[in-house]
Amino acid sequence: MVDFSGQRPTTGFHAPTRFEADIYDCEVVGQIPTDLNGGFFRLHLDAFYPSKYADDAILAYDGYVTSFRFSKGVVDYKGRYVRTQRFMKQLEARKQLYGYYRNPYTDDPSVSDPANPHLRTTANTTPVVHHGKLFATKEDGLPHVMDHNTLKTVGPTDFGGTWNSQTFTAHPKIDPVSGEMVAIGYEASGLASKDVLMGTFDKTGKLTQEVRFDVPYVSMLHDMCVTQKHVVIPGGGAIADIETLKAGKSHWGWDASLPSYYGIIPRDGEAKDMRWFKGPERALVHTVNAVTEGDKVIMEAPVVEGNPWPWFHDIHGAPFKPLDYTIRRFTFDLNSKDDGYTEEILFKTPVTSFTRIDDRFMTLPYRYTYVQYSDPERPFDAALAGPFGGRTANSYGRFDIRTGETLSYCAGQSHAVQEPTFVPRPGSSEEGDGWILGIAHNHVERRSELIILDAQRMEEVARVVLPFRCSGQVHGVWAGEGDLAFDDPTQLALAN
């Protein structure tokens, strides 16, 4: 028997869906551009069984991968659970066996294995495409290789035995110039361990460089930035230690008295080259982009000045209050003698933590940040709030970090949008020439719609209408036909 009562979210729009689906030839309003060919992949949080603890983080929910396969003006949809070891063990037992987010000490004794916490990953955070493969990633375990045509789970990978960390970030960065992928794994040697593995994969997926270092204190290292020369690793605020885990508590607490920190290391550096800059209480969660200019590393990110996590308690007892993110710039001077840096607010408009760029400009000077937010002129109906505890959004914005100008698109007063993903127009090389794809949840009709915008005008060109609601998305990725070997979608559907 399955009973989700008392769980968050339960009956809301972002409640788990618990079904898998194929839709051949989706319903479309408007015209799908005929040169938009490839796959839009997304990872969702979709618990097949309710959490053991009603106050647990939804970040522990099962991973669910969806694809919108675009081909010559038509689109097919697929959705599948990621068949992690954890998911299969639950199906076999017909119940939830796993306890708190990232705490194996709270698991059923039949599966509890605190020495191998990565085996309980749900692979629910970011679909990543590199060297012709699709991966489902989560920062507490290894990436799962997914068949990008069928969405069948191939299984976890340590890259042929070369990746010597239990974990792998959900936000590796791909250098568009070299095709390299730079990644980290934190809590690399076990629960609440201070060590981080950083490594570079060449465009064929071969690990060509690795370095290991310790963080100032164990913290959530959710995202990272890569420039042409450096890697930036922001952390701080969230804390973890083994005693708290053994006591059966949630993995993370929040300590407002600790500094935020920013590790900067040359891409080919050794542990001794790592520099830790430190500042006041902050959470970045996600970054936008960074560049190296001479002796300076300049990074932009959506930032909050406190605990962004409703599930991770302030260790000094402060009650949780939702905070707004603003896009800020951090400038780190590699010649400085101290560990300080400068921080500027670039846009006062509150945004969510989900911002993306034209990934062809990752690591390089760039201009546009695409944000998920509520346009101040079209305020969001709070009744439609999403699963992340804070504000959610009805609009996509294009923020020009060079001029400060903003362009906005509102999906509708009863729509809640998920992270935007930029798709380059084939044949173009100009930054921002392409489309924005993003799911909007239509709360009135209780269904989800994929919105396609012209990214230069931020105007809608088409909507793919699904006949059901999707569970809450975390991140998405676009793969063009040159990035993955796609089967012909018509033949694929006829064969299945």
**Of residues 124 and 395, the one with the C-beta less far from ligand V55:** 124
**Of residues 171 and 267, the one with the C-beta less far from ligand V55:** 171
Cα separation, 288 vs 277, whole angstroms:
19
The minimum distance between CB 220 and ligand V55, in angstroms, equals 6
Sheet with 395-400, strands from edge to edge, namely: 355-356, 368-373, 395-400, 406-410
**Of residues 360 and 475, the one with the C-beta less far from ligand V55:** 475
Write out the binding residues for ligand V55, residues 105-164 only, by CB under 6 A: 124-125, 138-139
Per-residue x/- track, 263-292, ligand V55 (CB under 6 A): ----------------------x-------
The minimum distance between CB 126 and ligand V55, in angstroms, equals 8
The minimum distance between CB 443 and ligand V55, in angstroms, equals 22
Q: What own/partner pairs with CB < 8 Å and gap ≥ 24 does 330-338 have? A: 330/262, 330/298, 330/299, 330/300, 330/301, 331/296, 331/297, 331/298, 332/232, 332/262, 332/264, 332/277, 332/296, 332/297, 332/298, 332/299, 333/295, 333/296, 334/264, 334/275, 334/295, 334/296, 334/297, 335/295
List Cβ neighbours of 21 (8 Å cut-off, separation of 6 or more): 77, 78, 79, 468
The minimum distance between CB 365 and ligand V55, in angstroms, equals 27
**Of residues 187 and 359, the one with the C-beta less far from ligand V55:** 187
**Of residues 219 and 395, the one with the C-beta less far from ligand V55:** 219
**Of residues 222 and 391, the one with the C-beta less far from ligand V55:** 222
The minimum distance between CB 354 and ligand V55, in angstroms, equals 8
Question: Site for ligand V55 (CB under 6 A): which residue of 474, 477, 479, 483?
Answer: 474
356 binds ligand V55 (CB under 6 A): no
The minimum distance between CB 425 and ligand V55, in angstroms, equals 29
The minimum distance between CB 32 and ligand V55, in angstroms, equals 29
Write out the binding residues for ligand V55, residues 59-88 only, by CB under 6 A: 59
**Of residues 182 and 474, the one with the C-beta less far from ligand V55:** 474
**Of residues 388 and 486, the one with the C-beta less far from ligand V55:** 388
Residue 459: φ, ψ to 5° = -125, 145
The minimum distance between CB 222 and ligand V55, in angstroms, equals 5
**Of residues 9 and 38, the one with the C-beta less far from ligand V55:** 9
The minimum distance between CB 97 and ligand V55, in angstroms, equals 19
**Of residues 121 and 227, the one with the C-beta less far from ligand V55:** 121
Q: Which residue is nearest to ligand V55 (CB)?
A: 59
The minimum distance between CB 101 and ligand V55, in angstroms, equals 7
**Of residues 312 and 409, the one with the C-beta less far from ligand V55:** 312
Site size for ligand V55 (CB under 6 A): 8
> Bridge-partner residues for 45, per DSSP?
63
Per-residue x/- track, 209-248, ligand V55 (CB under 6 A): -------------x--------------------------
The minimum distance between CB 229 and ligand V55, in angstroms, equals 27
Residues that bind ligand V55 (CB under 6 A): 59, 124-125, 138-139, 222, 285, 474
